[in-house]
Amino acid sequence: MSEGPSYGFDTLQVHAGARPDPATGARQTPIYQTTAYVFRDADHAAALFNLQEVGYIYSRLTNPTVAVLAERIATLEGGVGGVCCSSGHAAQIMALFPLMGPGRNVVASTRLYGGTITQFSQTIRRFGWSAKFVDFDDLDAVKAAIDEDTRAIFCEAIANPGGYITDLDAIAGVADAAGLPLIVDNTSATPYLCRPIEHGATLVVHSTTKYLTGNGTVTGGAIVDSGRFDWSASGKFPSLSDPEPAYHGLKFHETFGPLAFTFHGIAIGLRDLGMTMNPQAAHYTLMGIETLSLRMQRHVENAVRVAEWLEQHPKVARVTYAGLPSSPYNDRVARICPKGAGALFTFALKDGYEACVKFVDSVNLFSHVANLGDTRSLIIHPASTTHRQLSEAQQVAAGAAPDTLRVSIGIEDAADIIADLDQALARV
Ligand SMILES: *Cc1c(COP(=O)(O)O)cnc(C)c1O
């Protein structure tokens, strides 16, 4: 797409980052299934390796198909640059990598995707990093958790499970006052429902595996940089502000300005961690992202109808969906994600654990899987699957109590989704 008027979201989701293929005129973005790229001559090769010229060297670092997707996601989020990688969890490591170091910590919300809690509480310790989990509704507790070694604040815009919306403006205020970057996982909301950078986020991370691809075909992740953080101000981010020995003492922030984080993500992150997205995966995600707004509208519309129906069912104890008038997060929906509270929520059955197990075995249209954000309606009973290693108290704290089911409402006919839940409820 050439520089033109400032296009709307629906136009950008189809066009941003893409132009007819310069070699063939192909209108759809080709899958550049290649590992390496021929240098024009020795000088060209040297300039590329010195980061003096931008171009393609080797697909662990950059690939033209993947680059279109990175630019599209960055544009939809309102950022200056983006890096794609192999999964959402890879994106989280890639986002933290330039900021952290041995002894450093990230202050993270207690309300996070289960896999992220495991990654942050266990695996990152192997790098000497740690996470401090805090209730992000308690701003004083967030402030109190920040110490000299804190290098980032991390939360999700719409947190799963449990119908929770983070007050991004308030958390961004705390991060700004402490001179720290705010990283927001925007997977459950997508940039159609929420644009965290407009609420003060420094970096946005995604599992493109979910709604951005939307069809359940490939895993992927992305990191988008707002371009607004001053990486040199505090001396706390030497990877970005200080001379980089692997590039003859180049300083990323001084050299690349607002694109420092993006260039570092490619030139150091992808080069040395190798968590690269492959061009086939980028292709599937590009196919999906073209219809993101249309799918999200239907996801939200269906989620509201299903949640309202469940809330009045005699066998249902409660429904936690921020899109319901009964949710304590209504005011945040209006401010943070005014087009809707997403399509993930939990509901509890009065008859508890056994009824939930029976329920997941009784659904027909719903698929019982450990995934979310598919066009298909999905269900899982966290206490007997994803959260079964936790104690009951931990399950309750995570919004995954033994009586609780999590659904990801698809884009099928709402009447068919409700009919499937109705027949399954009749069997428990
Ligand atoms: C799925 C998910 C992740 C992890 O993404 P993968 O692509 O599975 O690695 C992280 N955050 C959220 C909110 C998710 O839903």
Tell me the domains of the chain and their CATH numbers.
9-288 (3.40.640.10), 292-427 (3.90.1150.10)
Indicate the average pLDDT of the chain.
Answer: 95
Q: What is the dihedral sign for C-alpha 194, 197, 200, 206? A: positive
**Residue 423, SS3 per DSSP:** helix
Report the DSSP pairing between strands 81-85 and 221-225. Answer: antiparallel
- Please state the atom number of ligand 1 nearest to the C-alpha of residue 159: 13
Looking at residue 268, what DSSP letter applies? I
What pLDDT sits at residue 396?
84
> Over the stretch 392-424, which tens digit does the pLDDT of each residue have?
887 887 788 999 999 999 999 999 999 999 999
CA of 187 to the centre of ligand 1 (A): 7
CA 203 to chain centroid, in Å, comes to: 10
Predicted confidence (pLDDT) at residue 45 exceeds the cutoff of 60: yes
Among 120, 208, 209, 212, the mutation site with the greatest number of ligand 1 atoms within 8 A of its Cβ is: 209
Give the model confidence (pLDDT) of 157-169 as tens digits.
999 767 899 999 9
Q: How much distance in Å is there from the Cα of 278 to the middle of ligand 1?
A: 18
Q: Which run of H or of E encompasses 333?
A: helix 330-336
- DSSP run (H or E) holding 49: helix 42-49
Contacts of 159 (CB under 8 A, 6+ apart): 109, 111, 112, 113, 165, 166, 188
Strand 150-156 with 105-109, pairing: parallel
Query: 388: which 2 tokens?
Result: 């079964």
Segment holding 263, helix H or strand E = helix 260-264
Ligand 1 pocket check for 216: Cβ under 6 Å: no
Distance, CA of 74 to CA of 198 (rounded, Å): 13
- Assess whether pLDDT exceeds 70 at residue 5: no
Pocket-testing residue among 110, 206, 210, ligand 1, by greatest number of atoms within 8 A of Cβ? 210
Q: Specify the DSSP class assigned to residue 58.
A: B
Pocket of ligand 1 contains residue 187 by CB under 6 Å: yes
User: Tokens representing 217?
Assistant: 């075909």
- Residues 382, 356: contact at Cβ < 8 Å? no
| Closest atom, ligand 1, to C-alpha of 187 | 13
From 148, 152, 154, select the one nearest 180 (Cα to Cα).
Answer: 152
Question: What does DSSP say about strands 404-408 and 378-380: parallel, antiparallel, or unpaired?
Answer: antiparallel
User: Tell me: the pLDDT tens digits for 280-331?
Assistant: 999 999 999 999 999 999 999 999 999 999 999 999 999 999 999 999 999 9
CA dihedral sign of residues 288, 290, 293, 294: negative
Cα torsion through 228, 234, 235, 238, rounded to 10 = -20
Please report, rounded to a whole number, the percentage of residues in the chain having pLDDT higher than 90. 88
Quick one: which atom of ligand 1 is closest to the CA of 91? 9
71-91: average pLDDT: 98
Mean pLDDT of 185-197: 98
Which of 29, 27, 60 minimizes the C-alpha distance to 284? 29
The DSSP code for 269 is I
Whether ligand 1 lies within 6 angstroms of the CB of 207 is answered as yes
Grouping H, G, I as helix, E, B as strand and the rest as coil, residue 153 is: strand
d(CA 177, ligand 1 centre) in Å: 29
Q: In Å, what is the CA distance from 244 to each residue of 101, 158, 210, 218, 254?
A: 15, 37, 35, 34, 11
406 lines ligand 1 (CB under 6 A): no
- Centre of ligand 1 to C-alpha 262, Å, is 21
Record the pTM: 0.96
Is 104 close to ligand 1, i.e. is its CB under 6 Å away?
no
